[in-house]
Chain A
Amino acid sequence: NAGVTQTPKFRVLKTGQSMTLLCAQDMNHEYMYWYRQDPGMGLRLIHYSVGEGTTAKGEVPDGYNVSRLKKQNFLLGLESAAPSQTSVYFCATDLGGPYEQYFGPGTRLTVT
C-alpha cells in the first residue's frame, strides 16, 4: 500500500500561473486535509474534507480551492499563484476524530 501520495513533489510557478496539487490515499479514510508549512509558523490548515463531495475552509483558505470528487483523491488548486504561496504543502488523512493523521511526503512550491 502506498498510503498517502502527493503529486508533484516539486514545482516552480510564475506569478499568475495556475496549478493543481493531487493527493491520493489508499487507506479508505473519510477525512482529508491540506496544510501549508512555512518557517516559524508550523503547519496551517488550508482546506479539509470530511467525505466524498464535501469540502470546508480551514485557517488560511484564501487563494486556494479544493475538490473531493472521489473518496481517495483530494485536489488543491491555485488559480493565480502569488509569491506568498511559496511554501511546502502537505496532504493528510485520518478516520475522523482524535486519531493519528497520516501525511503525504509534501510538495515544495516556489512562486517567482
Chain B
Amino acid sequence: AQTVTQSQPEMSVQEAETVTLSCTYDTSENNYYLFWYKQPPSRQMILVIRQEAYKQQNATENRFSVNFQKAAKSFSLKISDSQLGDTAMYFCAQETSGSRLTFGEGTQLTVNP
C-alpha cells in the first residue's frame, strides 16, 4: 500500500521569509506523480504544484518549488517570499494506479505579519 507522511503538523513563518514543508512517501512503482495541494480556511482544495517522478528537474511554480529526492522518497515544498495568503493547510499526495491520490496528514502553515 502507498503511504505518504508529513511529519510537521504545524509550522509558522514570518511574512516575506522562506519556509520548507516536508513530505516522504513509500511506493514500489518506478513511475508516478506527486502533488502538493493547499487548503485555505475557505476549505477549497487547490493544486499548488505537480512533479513527475521520471523527470530529474524539480518543478517550480512562481514562489513555490519542490525538492524531489527520488532515491530518498522525499518531496518537500519550498515557499519563497511567504505571503499572508499562503496561510493554509498543505497536503502532499501521491498518485496511485487508476489516478487515485493518497494524501499525507497535512501541515498547517501560518504566515505571520
**Footprint of B on A, CB under 8 Å?**
31, 33, 35, 40-45, 48, 50, 56, 58-59, 88, 90, 92, 94, 96-101, 103, 105-106
Contacts and interface: CB of A to CB of B under 8 A. Distances in A.
Contacts of A58: 100
A42 B6 CA distance: 10
Contact of B44 (A41, A50, A96, A105): A105
B45 A90 contact: yes
Given A42-B103, A98-B33, A99-B99, A105 B47 contact: no
Interface of B: 4, 6, 9, 32-33, 35, 42-45, 47, 50, 52, 91, 95, 98-106
A97 B99 contact: yes
A32 to B, nearest CB: 11
